[in-house]
């Protein structure tokens, strides 16, 4: 051992320091752990890794048919192209062909039949991506057409499902509807969404001497990558190591969809013995991989004269694409969230998992939740228009109660309900009522442009609904110089997970975050991990890392107690120092001392979420550990001649419990809001009548650009509201819940449209509300208004 960390501080200086708080612990707005590297281009993504002299690049030829039998595949033309090492079909997969995430149904390469335009049929490994592509396109593939099902309505009608419908039921909804004073029925299409992570799907694999693979993979689920690569190769899991330092965005799109490039690269590397990389060009990524599920939702609502819902029946039909993937849980989550923050009365909610011949739709921020959660916002607006009341007032009347009316339609009790207070707070801080008046005034005077306003809540359940996934592991080493190596099973996709987990460990050891090295997620450090999904990354991995830290800290305390002959209460860690009764020493010095006294300075940590259970057969239970809440008030302006619009202002109040890092949490909220608004406005996926995705690049598919953020954007965190559940430092998950704050923009646009007919009817607008859809809704309002005016004038004449 050297004396490289020799302490230069006096005891007085150290005692002064321990009186100060740690600057980079929990609750501080510590910068993203990779920020300095990202701004310099030094942060390494999979494609940035140095290539090998014998590197291969893989390209998969996609199906040109939505549904067809493969009659013939001739790969010989591929080999005419210089630089081609191998061309493979399904027959060349040595192990298991299916890479389905939960249920089978996703062959790595098409097996005799193709089921969507974009499905990988063959793959080529060559010296460059362009060569591989050229060779793949040279193969001869012949098809025999089969009838495709391309729309969700057609799938419903033909009962084309990837699994059976499932129902949540509370009370007798049919009787409640029958009895209700008022009733409304309707149906709406909710569009899907392309993830548009800036970094497309990519994996780079290196064969090992043991017949396995080292896999560098941009994935939210390294353990699944390990499992699938092992399975397609037919080797035990322990032959495969997956390393995942960071993703250039995930949003759910890399929870299961990373698998195809990872496994194709692995099969090619297996056959050739050469390192192989598969990176999807943007168009291929958009065509091949699944998206947010489009939904077709039908509703039948009974309500009283005050607009309070008495009975609800909803049919939520998710377009799952051609295979199960994660769709069962996704449609379940849509059902779990079809109440948003409202008591639905006697309710029956049925979810349909429609199979169509399109790419297999997958996880996307909110995981089906948004497509269900938007429903009450649509029909409560409608109730408000029917009764001539302000939509916010109707919303308030329908919130879950604190003491009664507080069981969901799946029988979870809504505890710690803070939506009433949050809405009241936001209503005041956003000056909702004052602006409501001003907007009405503006709209009276402005013949072409119209403004709209809407304030909508979010209640989002936190936990994987597949209960077993709610577990995590972590690994911490402390080296003899006091520096800390931190690893956990979660993955960093930009959300700041690594930063938060490091802050948690920093807090436990009371050391600066600079003293902690976060390392790539790696299946040989922390095994059997769950995907970083369901907003659970910090809740699970933060706790696991905390537990690892607590284990080591306890050993250190025990050591100090015996070494210095003190009581445990005499030992404390504070701001990079350790206090032992009246003695103080730097953390590093103490660690070295512990080492010399043969104390283990390494530990794993593990965590499982308590309290949760769900009986799917009876559709009852407590699937969620807790709920996260939020509310947004959006103001928009629309052009009644063209349907164009802009978000003028958005005020957000969001509940993250006790924030681990306010800057990161606000970043998640703002980003989620804008992404959610994009989903419901300009992000339109268009397929042609053959089932081909026409919006297959950023030229046609429009995610929000800088000028699409609200002109006036005000975001606040709910203060002084710790999560009453025992989450890590009483924080709450933040990844998904604020996505649904974007619904306020959709409702505000509809509010502006409704102004055209004096707020007397609720406009019918499918999502996304593109300028075109807005214009047609305006036209419908103009027709209503003209008809109404005509009636009035007829009455006057009579």
Shorter beta-carbon distance to other proteins: residue 447 or 610: 447
Minimum distance from residue 713 beta carbon to other proteins (Å): 5
* CB of 342 closer than 8 Å to CB of 400: yes
Minimum distance from residue 706 beta carbon to other proteins (Å): 4
Minimum distance from residue 192 beta carbon to other proteins (Å): 14
273 half-sphere exposure, CB direction, 13 A CA radius: 2
Q: Rounded distance, CA 289 to CA 281, Å?
A: 12
3-state secondary structure of 629: strand
Q: Rounded distance, CA 385 to CA 378, Å?
A: 11
Minimum distance from residue 363 beta carbon to other proteins (Å): 15
Shorter beta-carbon distance to other proteins: residue 227 or 292: 292
- DSSP symbol at 648: E
Shorter beta-carbon distance to other proteins: residue 134 or 402: 134
* CB of 747 closer than 8 Å to CB of 381: yes
* CB of 305 closer than 8 Å to CB of 714: no
Tokens 């003695």, residue located: 583
Shorter beta-carbon distance to other proteins: residue 174 or 709: 709
Shorter beta-carbon distance to other proteins: residue 250 or 311: 250
Cis omega (within 30 of 0) for bond into 153: no
Minimum distance from residue 31 beta carbon to other proteins (Å): 6
Q: Rounded distance, CA 640 to CA 661, Å?
A: 42
Q: Rounded distance, CA 91 to CA 723, Å?
A: 53
Shorter beta-carbon distance to other proteins: residue 708 or 725: 708
Shorter beta-carbon distance to other proteins: residue 303 or 701: 701
Q: Is 725 a catalytic residue?
A: no
Shorter beta-carbon distance to other proteins: residue 202 or 579: 202
Shorter beta-carbon distance to other proteins: residue 527 or 771: 771
CA-atom Rg of the chain in angstroms? 28
Shorter beta-carbon distance to other proteins: residue 99 or 141: 141
* CB of 150 closer than 8 Å to CB of 358: yes
Residue (of 233, 213, 225, 229) closest to 93 by Cα position: 233
Q: Rounded distance, CA 288 to CA 239, Å?
A: 28
Residue (of 337, 363, 383, 428) closest to 740 by Cα position: 337
3-state secondary structure of 638: strand
Shorter beta-carbon distance to other proteins: residue 766 or 779: 779
* Plot region of 625 (φ>0 → left; ψ -120 to 50 → alpha; else → beta): alpha
Q: Rounded distance, CA 107 to CA 452, Å?
A: 48
Active-site entry in 33, 569, 736, 772? 736
Minimum distance from residue 16 beta carbon to other proteins (Å): 28
Minimum distance from residue 646 beta carbon to other proteins (Å): 5
Structural element, H or E, at residue 319: strand 309-321
Specify which residues 25 forms β-bridges with.
none
Shorter beta-carbon distance to other proteins: residue 393 or 772: 772
Residue (of 552, 571, 573, 553) closest to 561 by Cα position: 571
- DSSP symbol at 693: B
> Three-state SS across 472-488?
EEEEEEECCCCCEEEEE
Structural element, H or E, at residue 155: helix 152-157
- DSSP symbol at 538: I
Q: Rounded distance, CA 181 to CA 183, Å?
A: 7
242's tokens: 């997956």
Q: In which order are the strands placed within the sheet that holds 571-574?
A: 571-574, 577-580, 583-586
Encode 551-575: b = buried (16+ Cβ within 10 Å), e = exposed: bbbeebbebbbeeeebeeebbebbb
Minimum distance from residue 138 beta carbon to other proteins (Å): 12
Minimum distance from residue 89 beta carbon to other proteins (Å): 22
In this structure, the dihedral spanned by the alpha carbons of residues 657, 661, 667 and 670, taken in order and rounded to 10 degrees, is 20
Minimum distance from residue 199 beta carbon to other proteins (Å): 5
Minimum distance from residue 258 beta carbon to other proteins (Å): 15
3-state secondary structure of 148: coil
Minimum distance from residue 585 beta carbon to other proteins (Å): 32
Tokens 């939210």, residue located: 220
Q: Rounded distance, CA 170 to CA 409, Å?
A: 5
Known catalytic residues are 736
């Amino acid at each position: 051992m050297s004396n490289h960390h020799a302490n230069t501080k006096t005891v007085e200086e150290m005692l002064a320091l321990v009186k100060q708080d740690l600057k980079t612990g929990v609750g501080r707005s510590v910068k993203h752990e990779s920020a300095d590297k990202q701004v310099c281009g030094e942060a390494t993504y999979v494609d940035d890794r140095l290539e090998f002299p014998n590197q291969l690049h893989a390209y998969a030829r996609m199906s040109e048919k939505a549904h067809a039998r493969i009659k013939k595949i001739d790969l010989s033309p591929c080999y005419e192209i210089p630089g081609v090492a191998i061309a493979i079909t399904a027959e060349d997969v040595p192990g298991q062909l299916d890479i389905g995430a939960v249920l089978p149904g996703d062959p790595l390469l098409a097996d005799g039949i193709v089921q969507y335009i974009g499905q990988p049929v063959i793959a080529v490994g060559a010296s460059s991506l362009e060569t591989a592509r050229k060779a793949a396109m040279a193969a001869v593939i012949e098809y025999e057409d089969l009838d495709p099902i391309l729309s969700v309505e057609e799938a419903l009608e033909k009962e084309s499902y990837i699994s059976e419908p499932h129902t949540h039921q509370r009370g007798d909804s049919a009787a409640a509807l029958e009895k209700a004073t008022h009733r409304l029925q309707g149906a709406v299409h909710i569009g899907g969404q392309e993830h548009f992570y800036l970094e497309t799907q990519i994996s780079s694999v290196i064969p090992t001497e043991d017949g396995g693979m080292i896999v560098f993979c941009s994935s939210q689920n390294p353990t699944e990558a390990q499992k699938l690569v092992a399975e397609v190769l037919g080797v035990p899991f322990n032959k495969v190591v997956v390393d995942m330092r960071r993703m250039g965005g995930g949003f759910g799109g890399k929870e299961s969809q990373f698998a195809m490039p990872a496994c194709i690269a692995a099969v090619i590397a297996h056959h050739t013995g050469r390192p192989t990389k598969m990176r999807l060009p943007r168009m291929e990524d958009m065509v091949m991989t699944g998206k947010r599920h489009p939904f077709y939702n039908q509703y039948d609502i009974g309500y009283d004269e005050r607009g309070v819902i008495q009975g609800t029946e909803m049919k939520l039909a998710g377009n799952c694409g051609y295979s199960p993937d994660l769709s069962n849980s996704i449609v379940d989550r849509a059902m779990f969230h079809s109440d948003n923050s409202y008591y639905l009365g006697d309710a029956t909610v049925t979810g349909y998992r429609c199979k169509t011949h399109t790419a297999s739709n997958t996880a996307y921020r909110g995981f089906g939740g948004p497509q269900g959660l938007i429903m009450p916002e649509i029909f409560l607006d409608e109730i408000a228009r029917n009764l001539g009341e302000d939509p916010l007032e109707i919303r308030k009347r329908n919130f879950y109660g604190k003491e009664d009316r507080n069981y969901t339609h799946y029988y979870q009790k809504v505890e710690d309900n803070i939506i009433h207070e949050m809405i009241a707070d936001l209503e005041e801080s956003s000056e909702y009522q004052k602006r409501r008046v001003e907007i009405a005034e503006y709209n009276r005077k402005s013949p072409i442009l119209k403004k709209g306003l809407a304030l909508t809540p979010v209640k989002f359940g936190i936990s994987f609904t597949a209960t077993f996934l709610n577990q995590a592991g972590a690994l911490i080493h402390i080296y003899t110089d006091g520096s800390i190596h931190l690893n956990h099973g979660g993955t960093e996709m930009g959300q700041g997970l690594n930063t938060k987990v490091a802050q948690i460990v920093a807090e436990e050891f009371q050391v600066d975050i600079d003293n902690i090295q976060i390392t790539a997620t790696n299946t040989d450090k922390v095994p059997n991990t769950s995907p970083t999904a369901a907003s659970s990354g910090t809740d699970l991995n933060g706790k696991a890392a905390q537990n690892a830290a607590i284990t080591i800290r306890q050993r250190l305390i025990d050591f100090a107690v015996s070494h210095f002959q003190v009581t445990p209460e005499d030992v404390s860690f504070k701001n990079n120092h350790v206090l032992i009764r009246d003695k103080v020493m730097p953390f590093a010095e103490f660690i070295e001392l512990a080492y010399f006294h043969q104390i283990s300075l390494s530990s794993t940590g593990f965590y499982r979420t308590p309290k949760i259970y769900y009986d799917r057969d009876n559709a009852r239970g407590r699937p969620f550990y807790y709920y996260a809440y939020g509310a947004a008030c959006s103001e928009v302006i629309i052009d009644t001649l063209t349907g164009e619009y802009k978000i003028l202002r958005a005020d957000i109040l969001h509940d993250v419990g006790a924030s681990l890092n306010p800057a990161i949490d606000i970043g998640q909220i703002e980003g989620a809001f804008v992404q959610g608004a994009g989903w419901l406005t300009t992000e339109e996926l268009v397929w042609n009548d053959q089932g081909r995705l026409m919006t297959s690049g950023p030229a046609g598919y429009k995610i929000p650009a800088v000028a699409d953020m609200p002109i006036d954007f005000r975001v606040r965190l709910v203060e002084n509201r710790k999560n009453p559940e025992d989450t890590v430092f009483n924080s709450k998950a933040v990844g998904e819940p604020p996505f649904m704050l974007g619904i306020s923009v959709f409702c505000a646009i509809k509010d502006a449209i409704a102004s055209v007919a004096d707020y007397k009817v609720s406009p019918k607008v499918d999502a996304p509300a593109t300028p075109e859809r807005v214009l047609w809704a305006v036209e419908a309002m103009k027709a209503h208004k003209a008809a109404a005016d005509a009636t009035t004038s007829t009455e006057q004449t009579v």
